[in-house]
Structure formats: C-alpha cells, structure tokens
C-alpha cells in the first residue's frame, strides 16, 4: 500500500537523518525526582519508580497523616569538605568520537551514494528516483516524492523497507539513469485510501542514479549535510564530540552525587520510625498495584512472579530496604538544608516542576502533586518543595567536596587480566 509505505519510509528516513538530534533527545532524559524520590531505587528488581497514573480516590494512603521532623532522627557527620571517589570514563578524545560515529553508521545504516560506474538498472540494484503519482491526470496526496532509494526487483524501499503495491517498480527494471518513465499501476480494491481503492493511476519516475552502499571511507561533506544538517565532516565530528562530552559530564555529575549520598549514608546516623517506614512501603505497594494492575491487588503475586521472578514477600523486603535508604537520605538532606538555612527560589522551583511534568507524563501541576502526595495535592506540593531544597543542599555539598576520579578499566584490560588468571 503506497501511501502507508511512503509514511513508513519517511519515518525510517527521519530516524536515519538528523541522527545526532535523535540521540541527543535520548540523552536529555532527566531524573526529575532528585535525591528524595518517594519510590524506591530503580536498580532494585520490582522497585522501579511508579508510573504516573490518574488519581484513584478510593485508595486510602497513610503517608500524608504523618508529621515527621527529620532532624529529630539524624546526627549529622562533618559534611563541609568531604572526599569521595568516582570511577568512570569521563574523557572524550578523537578516537572515541570516531568510534561512536562508526557505531551510528552501522546501527542506522545502510546509507547509499551514487554509483557512477552503473547506468542501467539490474537485479539487486538500489535506484534513486523522484516520482509523481496522478489519478485522472491530477497529482494525488501521498503519491509524490523526491530522492527516494528503491529496491526495484524487490518492489520495496531500500534497506529492507516494506513492499509497495504490486507493479509499482516494474517499469524501472532495465531503466537507465536519466530516464523518465510512466508506469500504470492499479491500487488494490481494499486500499485504505478510499479515493484510490481499485483505481488505475500513472506514476512518472525520474531515474536519478543507481546507488551503492556507502562505506565509512565514503563519508563526505554531502553525507554530513544530509544526515547531520552541518556543512562539513569536521563539523559533524565536532557535533558528536559535543554530545559525548555533555553525556560524559552528566554521567560524572550523577556518579558524584551518588558517591556523596553513599558517604552521607555511611557517616551520618539516621533512625527511621518503623511506623513511618511501614506507611511509606504500604503506600508504594498501593501505587504499584494502581499503576501496574489497575488496582487489582489480587493479581500482584502473579505479576511479580511472571515479571520479576519474585514472591510477594521478596518484593516487600526489597521495597522496604530501598524505601528505608530513601527515607534516610531525605532525612539527612532535610536536616542539612535546615542547618544551612536554605530556602526555595520560586523561579528555579518552577523550572524543576515543569521538567518533572514533561519528563514523567503528567498533564498538570495538580496531577503531579496528587501523584507525589498520595492523592493529597497539598501534601505533594509540600513534599516536592522540600525535595527541591534538599537538592540545593546536595549541590552545596558537591561544590565543596573533593572528588577523586579514577578512569574505568577498559574491557580489553579486563579480558586480558581474566585470561592471565
């Protein structure tokens, strides 16, 4: 079906084109909950952050009823100039940039270029064409395109694309570069576009070139312009380098925050009231059931077994362990924020909230606050404002910390060591 195939092909091309832009989007995902996520840690099986769901008014949550003063339960360590160690690959050099580009080239390919040695279409050829489809002499919507790579003898888009309507590429078999060819094609009776179903149309093809698959050595300024929207190969590599550096810096920052949190958890003394911990875990389980099972708690054991290979008791133990660590971190950061007299800045907080809304699928501030406040928007707003201030405290500690970096051991080095053993 031509119109649908054209849409599929354009989607494929849009994935291949502007590759860096696509990858940048993936790397811009933000962890919006900061150090005090009321869910438990994502790396614990069965304790991933609960997805945003519509508030369910018939669920009773326990957490909002508590009025806990964290500083009553915390004995702080000296956090003024802490020293932490991080291990990772935080540098970007030319070799890494070119290796990354090689991965892009392989994963998003194949890419094609004109083969100047060929002038006639043979079996197995990929042909670049422009075409215009006309019904009763008038061009119809979705029937025209330019600069399309077509696998003529497979009657499909190049690179394993879906097939076209029967006979679409028949007139291109044996054609020569520069030919303009009219092909009569009849759409299927059940074609989705009713105005074309069962109709005979004429496609006029212009054969631009016969293509060959590109190799890395063929990458030139034209490729950079078409795929990366920059003028030169050097600018393409600069763009990739900038992206990788941003990613490395983000990873370094995340590792630093994690190391600081580990230091604080290890060196500060924190008690967690059992009734408060139990309430938080119970509420997390209720949210989990709402999100994953539409509120059907009877299916929880089967869901955990089939998706996480865990019993309900095992999951609850994991949830409790993860939640306790989260609460300890919340208590520590709130106590530090209070000691440092840190306060909310409205502009920064508003940006923080808007990021949370857009990155986590909420449709309004009210929905966000309802979710984080266990259906109590006022409690949710209070909670997130405190988390924001807690993050300010964490930033202050990071700015004064001594951070020792160690390069991550390469895969090759690990392999050699294992081999020697």
- pLDDT tens, position by position, 10-24: 444 443 443 333 333
The whole-angstrom distance between residue 392's C-alpha and the CA centroid of its chain comes to: 26
Contact 284, 39 (CB under 8 A): yes
Domain residue ranges of the chain, discontinuous segments joined by +:
31-79+268-420, 112-213
Neighbouring C-alpha atoms within 13 Å toward the C-beta of 216: 10
The answer to whether the CB of 164 falls within 8 A of the CB of 4 is no
The answer as to CATH 3.10.50.40 being correct for domain 112-213 is yes
What percent of the chain is predicted at pLDDT more than 90? 73
What's the pLDDT tens digit per position in 163-211?
Answer: 899 999 999 999 999 999 999 999 999 998 899 999 999 999 999 999 9
Q: How far apart are CA 378 and CA 369, in angstroms?
A: 7
Q: Where are the alpha helices (DSSP H) in 268-342?
A: 274-293, 300-308, 312-339
Could you give the CA distance from residue 52 to residue 71 in angstroms, rounded to a whole number?
30
Q: Which of the four pLDDT bands, split at 50, 70 and 90, describes residue 59?
A: confident
Mean pLDDT, all residues of the chain: 85
- Partner residues linked to 407 by β-bridges: 88
Predicted pLDDT at 421: 42
Element (DSSP H or E) covering residue 132: strand 126-135
Model confidence pLDDT, tens digit, residues 308-351: 999 999 999 999 999 999 999 999 999 999 999 999 999 999 99
As a whole number of angstroms, the distance between CA 338 and CA 215 comes to 60
The pLDDT value given to residue 335? 96
Q: Is 409 exposed, middle or buried (0-12, 13-18, 19+ CB in 10 A)?
A: exposed
Residues in the chain: 421
In whole angstroms, give the CA distance from residue 289 to residue 74: 32
**Residue 83 pLDDT class (50, 70, 90 cuts):** very high
pLDDT 10s digits, 213-237: 999 999 999 999 989 999 999 999 9
């Amino acid at each position: 079906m031509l119109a649908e195939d054209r849409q599929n092909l354009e989607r494929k091309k849009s994935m291949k084109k502007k590759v860096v832009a696509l990858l940048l989007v993936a790397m811009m995902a933000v962890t919006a909950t900061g150090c005090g996520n009321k869910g438990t840690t994502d790396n614990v099986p069965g304790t991933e952050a609960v997805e945003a769901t519509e508030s369910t008014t018939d669920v009773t949550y326990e957490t909002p009823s508590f009025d806990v003063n964290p500083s009553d339960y915390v004995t702080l360590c000296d956090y003024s100039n802490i020293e932490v160690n991080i291990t990772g690959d935080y540098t970007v050099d030319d070799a890494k940039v070119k290796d990354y580009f090689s991965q892009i080239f392989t994963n998003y390919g194949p890419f094609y270029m004109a083969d100047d040695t060929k002038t006639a279409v043979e079996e197995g050829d990929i042909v670049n064409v422009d075409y215009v489809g006309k019904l009763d002499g008038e061009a119809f919507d979705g029937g025209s395109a330019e600069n399309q790579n077509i696998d003529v003898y497979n009657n499909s888009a190049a690179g394993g694309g879906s097939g076209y309507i029967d006979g679409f590429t028949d007139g291109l078999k044996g054609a020569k570069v520069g030919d303009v060819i009219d092909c009569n094609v009849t759409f299927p009776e059940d074609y989705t576009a009713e105005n074309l179903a069962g109709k005979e149309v004429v496609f006029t093809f212009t054969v631009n070139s016969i293509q060959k698959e590109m190799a890395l050595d063929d990458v030139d300024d034209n490729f950079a312009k078409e795929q990366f929207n920059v003028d030169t190969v050097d600018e393409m590599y600069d763009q990739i380098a900038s992206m990788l550096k941003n990613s490395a810096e983000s990873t370094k920052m995340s590792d630093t925050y994690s190391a600081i949190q580990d230091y604080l958890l290890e060196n500060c003394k924190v008690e967690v009231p059992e009734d408060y911990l139990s309430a938080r875990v119970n509420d997390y389980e209720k949210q989990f059931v709402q999100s994953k099972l539409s509120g059907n708690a009877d299916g929880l054991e089967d869901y955990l077994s089939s998706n996480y290979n865990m019993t309900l008791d095992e999951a609850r133990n994991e949830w409790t362990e993860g939640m306790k660590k989260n609460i300890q971190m919340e208590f520590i950061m709130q106590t530090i924020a209070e000691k440092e007299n840190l306060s909310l800045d409205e502009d920064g907080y508003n940006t923080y909230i808007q990021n949370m809304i857009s990155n986590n699928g909420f449709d309004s501030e009210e929905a966000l606050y309802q979710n984080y406040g266990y259906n109590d928007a006022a409690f949710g707003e209070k909670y997130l404002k405190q988390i924001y201030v807690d993050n300010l405290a964490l930033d202050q500690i990071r700015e004064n910390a001594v951070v020792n970096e160690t390069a991550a051991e390469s895969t090759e080095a690990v392999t050699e060591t294992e081999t020697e053993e």
